[in-house]
Amino acid sequence: MLSDEQASPEQLAILRAMTGGQRLQLAEQLYWSVRKLTAAGVRQRHPDWSEEQVKAEVRAIFTNARS
Residue 1 predicted with pLDDT over 60: no
Q: Tell me how crowded residue 49 is: count the other CB atoms within 10 A of its CB.
A: 14
Stated pTM of the model: 0.78
Q: Give the separation between CA 50 and CA 30, rounded to whole angstroms.
A: 25
Percent of the chain residues past pLDDT 70, beyond the cut: 93
Give the whole-angstrom CA distance, residue 26 versus residue 30. 6
Domain edges within the chain: 23-67
Q: What is the mean pLDDT of residues 19-27?
A: 96
Closest by alpha carbon to 49, among 39, 62, 34, 61?
39
H-state helical runs in the chain: 9-17, 20-45, 51-63
